[in-house]
Structure 1
């Protein structure tokens, strides 16, 4: 028997979305969450890759505030912000602006291109083939995302830390993340926030407007640098956010959102067992 489709209200509840938020309250609640979990877990560092988008900018600043709060409580804590470009990032200026705003304790830069390309070369040498260049580029994009997470967990392991994720409700709804790539983390401080709510918290934190309002892009495909999320998703973040807070959306948008949510269910679950 097939499982019935989740209702809009069911999805909103599952993803912990609130229709409205108090920005100052959400900021402090999420800083407290990071600080408390770091203390309770016995870890003393937070690690996050900074891309120059609003999600990592907001999560990064929350992480820095959390370690500063921990230090006020007598805990030796540090935040390691990581730059993880694949070669040269076309919007590197945005990434540096994010770093300047976040003011992390330390910045580590790791170029994931050599490891990503070596993995792809080894796969092709082992017999893996692709439908066309775009299919190959898509698979390589997921390899990049997973190499970035490999690097972050290496730093977390070396420094006794937790990896911070940037997943928010809009991406969770659409399964718009790489499984075991940017979808892998120890703590996810943006959980439950719509894309617009992330921007609202960003404004509360004082993030630069150029980063808060920046067009979102996963920027994983070499053949399409800066490829917009909304083009890849086939629906706007405005519609996704509206759906998440219980508002009406067009039938076309609803169909895309509900179909995508059902199709990407495996990304939001622990490994399936017998």
Structure 2
């Protein structure tokens, strides 16, 4: 076995990635996980931000099924789906379609633009400067992600709930999440799944095909609205998924993926201690 294949296997094991899945089995397993975590911790709610992408659509439906299962066991569990736009979201129609499919117990709408802009303004008033407009916009994007998580934890605190995250193996591999932003959560039901496998589960749940196959975008940078993930990453999800499932990838893809994995290692770790 060559070094490339060995490295892929080590990373695949670290991220709990599987070569293939049986979608309905994964649905049942992950719904049970969410349900049992609520019951075991004595919490009464699940909270998740819904963006209109496939990851939050799938995680949201799993969460709704989990609270319904918990209610059948005697719990008063509820699922709180949150819309967390920065002002007006360009693909709001997709988010609304996702909510219709998920059919959550409750929907809360929180605009993160005022607190995000206010924090950036306070930082600049306090003396923070940026190299250029692009760096300022990038920092603001991370502020948006963290404000969204602040809002979700506020709801979880008020409703005795747990926050659900949408991180899956493809994003974990590339460190494609904001540390203590969308990377922060109590429960991560999509762990170990490739992007393609999340889509398989979405199809098994009968999610709208337009959302299942939607071009992924984090949509955090105001200067680059709806920037495709694959453009930002410099590699396609097909190549990332192939890497995670032990298939051979191009030298360029292998180099990009492994270097990014190493560079973002701190994002996947607990805080380091002396």
TM bucket (normalised to shorter chain) is: over 0.9
Report matched runs for 1:145-184 at 5 Å: 145-184=145-184
SS at match of 1:47: strand
Q: Give the corresponding residue for 1:140.
A: 140
Tell me the distance in 2 between the aligned counterparts of 1:234 and 1:139: 20
The 5 A counterparts of 1:4-83 are 7-83=7-83
Q: Distance in 1 between the 2:38 and 2:13 partners? A: 26
Q: Matched residue of 1:7: which SS?
A: helix
2:246 is matched with 246
Q: CA RMSD in A?
A: 0.6
Aligned counterparts of 2:130 and 2:234: Cα–Cα separation in 1: 24
Residues 154-188 of structure 1 deviation map (CA, whole Å, 9 limit, x = unaligned): 00000000000000000000000000000000000
SS of corresponding position for 2:12: helix
What corresponds to 2:84 in structure 1? 84
Give the deviation of 1:7 after TM superposition: 1.2
Aligned residues: 269
> In structure 2, how many angstroms separate the alpha carbons of the residues matched to 1:7 and 1:251?
13
- Render the CA deviation track for 1:8-40: whole Å, top value 9, x for unaligned: 101000100110100000000000000001100
Give the 3-state SS of the residue equivalent to 1:52 in structure 2.
coil
Q: Which runs of 4+ in 1 moved over 3 A?
A: none
Point out the more displaced range, 6-15 or 45-54: 6-15
SS at match of 1:81: strand
Matched with 1:230 is 230
Structure 1 CA distance for aligned equivalents of residues 47 and 224 of structure 2: 28
Which ranges of structure 1 fall in alignment gaps of 5 or more residues?
Answer: 1-5
Find the aligned partners of 1:82 and 1:13 in 2 and give their Cα distance: 33
- In structure 2, the residue matched to 1:195 is 195
Q: Residue 81 of structure 2: SS of its match in structure 1?
A: strand
> Please, what TM-score do these two structures have when normalized by structure 1?
0.98
Deviations 1:172-229 (A, max 9, x none): 0000000000000000000000000000000000000000000000000001110000
Q: Name the residue aligned to 2:111.
A: 111
Q: Quick one: distance in 2 between partners of 1:189 and 1:44?
A: 17
Give the distance between the partners of 1:43 and 1:14, measured in 2 at CA. Answer: 29
CA distance in 2 between counterparts of 1:37 and 1:13 reads 24
Task: Give the Cα separation in 1 of the matches to 2:234 and 2:125.
Answer: 34
For residues 63-103 of structure 1, the C-alpha deviation after alignment (integer angstroms, 9 at most, x for no partner) is: 00000000011111000000000000000000000000000
Q: What is the match of residue 3 of structure 1?
A: none
1:46 alignment partner, SS class: strand
